[in-house]
Amino acid sequence: MPPQPVAAPVSAPVEPGPALTGPERARYARQLALPGFGETAQRRLRAARVAVVGAGGLGSPVISYLAAAGVGALVVVDDDVVEASNLQRQVLHGVEDLGRAKADSAARAVHRLDPGVVVEPVRERLTDANADRLLAGCDLVVDGADNFATRYAVADACARLGLPEVFGSVLRFDAQVGVFWPGRGATYRDVFPAPPPAGSVASCAEAGVLGALCGVVGSVMAVEAVKVLTGTGRPLVDRLLVLDALTMSWRAVRVRAAQEGAAPAPAPAPAPEPEEPLPADAVVAPRELARLLAAGEVLLVDVRTPAERELAALPGAVPVPLAQVLDGTADLPRDRPVVLHCRSGARSELAVRALRARGRADAAHLDGGLLAWAAQVDPSLPVA
């Protein structure tokens, strides 16, 4: 079979920087030898400024490989600190980094790899209010966030600023990777117009994630970032790459930009009015719940996923899918009050609000979820 033609390169968003030094040529020799890459592409990388949102499971390989590839400046945006449960997949951090800000830990790791890479650690959560400020002056944004609010804030800012965005997500054994580029292809909101209802999608902490899958997906994201920055090959613009790690099958899904004339990305909106707090009788403290359970006075309902319950469960808890509680199809006994629980209290609060809105005045939820239960009642409960 004759060799297949290489896809026409896209125009790069970065102008080449200064000529490479001798040590730089030695360091990047394997990349310089790539057909169609060469010194010009390497100089583009050295001149590039990339924002990586999230220094966790996806951010770890992205930051490592972009620094190793020779990206000149990295802005690492993350407001979290390193915890023991992170180390299973967030390989940028180590035991010595426990309690340290992830942005600072990432900067230390990059400095060990290449002191010549400029790293700006930003210990803030990216929001609609600060996104434009944090991303200003960047050539590309890599979205490795772990929540929908941040994802949409990143996407809307990239649409306003005209920045290419490399997107990735992982959950359990599944993953997605794509490149969103306003003006050249689909944007994040073209594919995902609005976030899902709060609590309807489990987080990695709740549903689990295969650690090595973060490395696979983060590496693909780094490859796409390098391709965009250097104008090499055909990036995943207008395509979403979907991975099922259990069968190790990849498939590319075509996506399309909204029609011309569609409304532009929304400007930052004011924060919504906070929801009315639950009445006192709708919230049960862990020690009070322990007393009620011992007396047999309440029915305990677990709205977490089956995978979460396999890791840790409270004795006697009845599993009921959150979706059934929210849509009213859950058949909950009425012979005694019900107390709902999840991992942190966020999903069970949604559930109790739904039940009370339908007249179930005896419904309550465990304040702080299993995390609070483990802290105040049973420290042996595995909830990390």
Query: Domain residue spans in the chain?
Result: 22-254, 280-376
Is pTM beyond 0.85 here? no
Read off φ and ψ for residue 38, nearest 5 degrees. Answer: 70, -170
Range of weakest confidence among 83-97, 123-137, 296-310: 296-310
Categorize the per-residue pLDDT at 272 as very low, low, confident or very high, splitting at 50, 70 and 90: very low
- Contact yes or no for 50/141 (Cβ under 8 A): yes
Residue 206 has what pLDDT?
67
Number of helices (H), then strands (E), belonging to the chain: the values are 15, 13
Return d(Cα 20, Cα 24) in angstroms, integer: 6
Categorize the per-residue pLDDT at 247 as very low, low, confident or very high, splitting at 50, 70 and 90: confident
Catalytic positions are: 204, 342
Q: Percent of the chain at pLDDT above 70?
A: 89
- The mean pLDDT of 99-107, rounded to a whole number, is 95
pLDDT digits (tens, 9 = 90+) for 178-211: 999 998 999 999 888 887 766 656 666 667 788 8
Residue 3 has what pLDDT?
38
Return d(Cα 7, Cα 12) in angstroms, integer: 14
Residue 198 has what pLDDT?
66
Could you say which architecture CATH assigns to the domain 280-376? 3-Layer(aba) Sandwich (3.40)
Return d(Cα 105, Cα 90) in angstroms, integer: 11
pLDDT digits (tens, 9 = 90+) for 213-229: 999 999 999 999 999 99
pLDDT digits (tens, 9 = 90+) for 22-53: 999 999 999 999 988 999 999 999 999 999 99
Domain covering 22-254, topology? Rossmann fold (3.40.50)
**pLDDT of 271 higher than 50:** no
pLDDT digits (tens, 9 = 90+) for 137-163: 999 999 999 889 999 999 999 999 999
Residue 92 has what pLDDT?
93
Categorize the per-residue pLDDT at 130 as very low, low, confident or very high, splitting at 50, 70 and 90: very high
Residue 261 has what pLDDT?
42
Return d(Cα 363, Cα 281) in angstroms, integer: 9
